[in-house]
Every structure is written in structure tokens, then in C-alpha cells.
Amino acid sequence: MSYIDGFVLAVPQATRETYRQVAQKAAAVFKEHGALKVVECWGDDVPEGKVTSFTMAVQRKEDEAVVFSWILWPSREKRDTGMKAAMADPRLKEGMDPMPFDGQRMIFGGFEVIVDE
């Protein structure tokens, strides 16, 4: 069964294009190491919550947007191998100095797909 790595982060509006370029290059690296698909989404309708929300989760500042992204892998095993290889790939670090977002506020996790319609 497929496996997903999911991410939610806050990115300054001013670095949108830099972030897009870095994400596009990173997508190629992840795909080379076994990912089936990489999706990056720039939030344009992300409501503020009263109890919880994407914006609260990443402590979004006024000049930032919420980015929601995921990587689709064929399986957990392929993800474990591919992610390890991608993280060791020096191309993944290109354009990340300085990082175009605050990595400390990024939320991420791995998810087993249970419905895929």
C-alpha cells in the first residue's frame, strides 16, 4: 500500500519564488530516490482557528503563507530507503542557505494510506 510523507509549514510571502524553486529541485531528488509524486501547495484560503488550525499549528506570522505538501511513495519500505538516500543527497541542500522558511515550525509525519479513491 502507498505511503505519504506530509508537511505543513509557514513560508514568508517574500520568499515564495525562492521556496518554489527549491521545492521543485527537491522534488526531482525525491523522485530520483523512489518517490512517485511530490506536491507543494501555497495556501490562499487558510482560515484562522479558534481552537486549532494550520496557521496556529505553524505559528504563522502576518507576512507568511501556510504551505501544505506531501510526497507519495510506493510503500513504507521504499519511503524509508528513498528518504534516507534523499537526505544524504547534497543536491537537497542547494538553495537552503539561508532556508526560505523557518524549519523549526515545520510539522511533518509519515502516513499509511487507508483509503485511496
Domain ranges of the chain: 3-112
The per-residue b/e assignment along 12-29, b for 16 or more CB within 10 angstroms, e otherwise, is eeebeebbeebbeebbeb
- Scan for cell 505511503, then name that residue: 3
Whether residue 8 contacts residue 57, with contact meaning beta carbons closer than 8 Å, is answered with: yes
Task: Give residue-wise pLDDT tens across range 29-82.
Answer: 999 999 999 999 999 999 999 999 999 999 999 999 999 999 999 999 999 999
Tell me, what's the pLDDT at 95?
A: 65
Rounded Cα distance between 97 and 68, Å, is: 22
* pLDDT at position 1: 85
The structure's pTM equals 0.93
Instruction: State pLDDT tens for residues 76-107.
Output: 999 999 999 999 999 988 767 778 888 899 99
- Give the CATH architecture of domain 3-112: 2-Layer Sandwich (3.30)
Is the model's pLDDT at 12 over the cut of 90? yes
